[in-house]
Amino acid sequence: AGCDLAIRGGTLVTASDQFRADLGIRDGKIVEIAAEIADAREEIDATGLMVLPGGIDAHVHLAQPTSDGTVMADDFLTGTRSAAAGGNTTVLPFALQVKGSSLRECLTAYHEKAEGACYTDVSFHLIVSDPTPQVLGQELPALVRDGYSSFKVFMTYDDLVLNDAELLDVFDVARRERALVMVHAEGHDAIKHMTRRLEEEGKTAPYYHAVAHHQIAEREATHRAISHAQLIDVPVMIVHVSGRDPMEQIQWAKKRGMKVFAETCPQYIVLTRDDLKGLNMDFEGAKYVCSPPPRDTDSQDAIWEGLRDGTFDVFSSDHCPFYFEGANETGKDNPRARTSFKWVPNGIPGVETRLPILFSEGVRKGRISIERFVALTSTNPAKLYGLYPQKGALVIGADADITLWDPERKAVITQASLNHGADYTPFEGMEIEGWPVRTILRGQTIAADGEVLEQGRAGRYLSRATSSAW
């Protein structure tokens, strides 16, 4: 039978191969991949373009409430619009359990905010901040079975940190339910100690965030998380790995055959701690404050090596957008944050620039192959978060989620050109080679040439299966 849409003349790229083929879509699914396919109702000429499985950003924060009066700059509407413009068809934001509240209750609020507001498909990771007997015994197991097959735990932040006993308890639930635990690995006490000492020395500028959140504290926590996972016998995903030292702990574990997985992000390959100095050790540096912070060029080199050799499985944005200015002291630049780096909200925007940065710096500059690019940004996250092969694959029967990529297109990242809600980009002025020219979700174009289509607001919620980590 005929297709609704034919994409002709492009180079299809998967996590393992690239080849010239036409691709046919019917009822939102890929139904044909062939040298030449019959006429379709609609045709797209992809000559000179790469045909990629849609980007899957497995680590974004949208509409997360904060406890300090600051406001996240993206809700589901603007966040997924930005994602679509950047070549993504699925995003995985977090549903944060507020301490003292039930996990299910918090999750319901995120569903309400996302309903009808999304340009891309969406699924939620849970954040467990209050592992009460009720949460561990009933809520969490029930939610995993309902298709929330991954959750994140924190080893730092006053209102999120779990102690070792709690981490072990949560890991145990993951083992019983075959969930994938994601760990924010930074040592809380080490950070607190460093923070106090820096403040006593009058070192309160945003730059000192990068000193307090030392790589040694990340290395230690990474090893501790890996040890706990080994003890419980559960796979673990170390998210937003920033540098050489924590990365070596992951290599240590992988070499021993442990099921340890790792994610890194654009900020760790193109920013360094020096960016936190701003113009002259001033508050501009707050634009780059995130945790873990960017490190140095030696760590950047290590991260590239890890992206190549399989130490990293997933490349996500950790899009966590705050305004810099922000009305009524809701942004990074608020009076309390001016008194100490420890009050600067942690996080930077990046869902729209993740794919262009990795393509330009990675594929164009010969550091990684295009197949590896697809694996890191789409196929692996689909597998590890239970969406494969519906997502992340160019195969018959998969959702027709496709990004048409122009490998030659030159662009400069500027705030004015982006669709996110934040009022700045930490990647301002970056020169890019390679850009997503069309994003297709289940056969429907949702973004083309930087324009996100209003009628493309057809994102759905995705219930997820068990992670391939199991």
Cα–Cα distance measured from residue 362 to residue 266, given in angstroms and rounded to the nearest whole number: 11
Cα–Cα distance measured from residue 227 to residue 142, given in angstroms and rounded to the nearest whole number: 27
434 interacts with Zn ion by CB under 5 A: no
Contact pattern for Zn ion over residues 365 through 384, marking x by CB under 5 A = --------------------
Nearer to Zn ion, 134 or 163 (CB): 163
**Binding partner selected for residue 425 from Zn ion, ligand URP, none, CB under the kind-specific 5 to 8 Å limit:** Zn ion
From 44-52, 123-131, 416-424, 450-458, give the range in contact with Zn ion by CB under 5 A: 416-424
184 interacts with ligand URP by CB under 6 A: yes
Nearer to ligand URP, 291 or 377 (CB): 291
Residue 306 φ/ψ, nearest 5 degrees: -65, -35
61 interacts with ligand URP by CB under 6 A: yes
**Binding partner selected for residue 422 from ligand URP, Zn ion, none, CB under the kind-specific 5 to 8 Å limit:** Zn ion
Report the Cα–Cα distance between both ends of the chain, in Å, rounded.
Answer: 38
Nearer to ligand URP, 131 or 347 (CB): 347
Between helix 244-255 and helix 215-232 the angle, nearest 10°, is 20
422 interacts with Zn ion by CB under 5 A: yes
Cα–Cα distance measured from residue 438 to residue 62, given in angstroms and rounded to the nearest whole number: 23
Residue 81 φ/ψ, nearest 5 degrees: -65, -45
342 interacts with Zn ion by CB under 5 A: no
Nearer to ligand URP, 61 or 81 (CB): 61
Contact pattern for ligand URP over residues 312 through 351, marking x by CB under 6 A = ------x-x-------------------------xx----
Contact pattern for ligand URP over residues 215 through 254, marking x by CB under 6 A = -------------------------x--------------
- When binding is defined by CB under 6 A, the residue of 7, 181, 290, 448 that contacts ligand URP is 290
Cα–Cα distance measured from residue 57 to residue 377, given in angstroms and rounded to the nearest whole number: 7
Buried b (16+ CB within 10 A) or exposed e, 215-242: bebbbbbbbbbbebbbebebbbbbbbbb
Q: Are 273 and 300 in contact (CB under 8 A)?
A: no
β pairing state of 29-34 and 11-13: unpaired
Q: Are 401 and 391 in contact (CB under 8 A)?
A: yes
**Binding partner selected for residue 349 from Zn ion, ligand URP, none, CB under the kind-specific 5 to 8 Å limit:** Zn ion
Catalog residues that contact Zn ion under the rule CB under 5 A: 184, 318, 349, 422, 424-425
